[in-house]
Amino acid sequence: MKHEEQPFKFGIRRIQDLAFSIDESVDIFDYESVQVAYALDLSDSEENEWIEFKLKVKFTEKGHQRAFLTGTIATTFYVKDIKKYIDYSTNTFKFPPKGLLTMFRTSFTHARAILAKNTAGTKFKNIFIPIVDPQTLLVDLLKTNTKKVLTKETVTY
């Protein structure tokens, strides 16, 4: 009898609005000149079976270094049997296809919603985190912002 692989099981454990900063003294006359930068910190706990995506977002105006809007939002996921998906000896993700990507998409959506809530009633109420290709963004962020090594299947559709 063939042993069937157990399905990947995860759920949201916690969503946190960790940091928010807004500088309303900045005047943005051309919303097309707004640039968005992202950073991603990943942490995990084998013992407690969780992985946390901490997404940092920074808005600047083209040609200026000064951020007029920043936010850091963390989404923590419970992952059943996480040790099956993270090889701690090689520091490598081994999530099933779409697993890590699905969690990142969810985290990104939380960040969009929380920053929209935080800017409501401010002069930047019409500035939102743009909709992006989550697979491309995740691959870029993992290359530059984490020590975890990806397997090819980790972020594919």
H helices, E strands: number in the chain: 2, 6
Ordered structural domains, the chain, with CATH: 10-155 (3.10.420.10)
Partners of 74 in beta bridges: 16, 54
Strand order, beta sheet including 10-22: 10-22, 67-79, 50-61, 34-45
Q: What pLDDT score was predicted for residue 1? A: 47
* Residues 45, 15: Cα–Cα separation, whole Å: 16
Q: What pLDDT score was predicted for residue 152? A: 45
| pLDDT tens per residue, range 39-48 | 999 888 889 9
Task: Look at residue 156 and tell me whether its pLDDT is greater than 80.
Answer: no
* Residues 151, 103: Cα–Cα separation, whole Å: 16
* Residues 26, 8: Cα–Cα separation, whole Å: 46
- Encoded tokens for 94: 């081994």
